[in-house]
Amino acid sequence: ASVATGALEERFEELAARPTGRRGFRTYDLLHVASTQLLDCDTFWSFDQKANALASLEGLKVLNPRKSTPRSS
């Protein structure tokens, strides 16, 4: 699967403009979550705590590969 650059840029800007985008999330976090949303994924997989926090705030189920149970917001 692939994500169009224009769509990713637009979604990134939407996330960055939200209050959640002002909580110290990094560019990588926003891009990772935006890509997940654009690909219509229902579960977000990451070892990164900040990315997981953003994904959870955005309503995605979060699965940290170090743990076995997905969590949702």
For residues 41 and 47, is the Cβ–Cβ distance under 8 A? no
Question: Using one digit for the tens of pLDDT, what is the confidence trace for 11-58?
Answer: 999 998 888 666 889 999 999 999 999 999 989 999 999 999 999 999
User: What is the rounded distance in angstroms from the CA atom of residue 13 to the CA atom of residue 1?
Assistant: 22
For residue 64, is pLDDT > 90? no
pLDDT class of 71 with cuts at 50, 70, 90: low
Kindly give, in sequence order, each residue whose CB lies less than 8 Å from that of residue 37, ignoring residues fewer than 6 positions away: 11, 58, 60
Dist CA 50 CA 23 (whole Å)? 10
For residue 73, what pLDDT is reported?
Answer: 56
Q: Which two tokens stand for residue 52?
A: 């997981």
Q: What is the pLDDT of residue 65?
A: 82
Q: Confirm whether pTM is higher than 0.85.
A: no
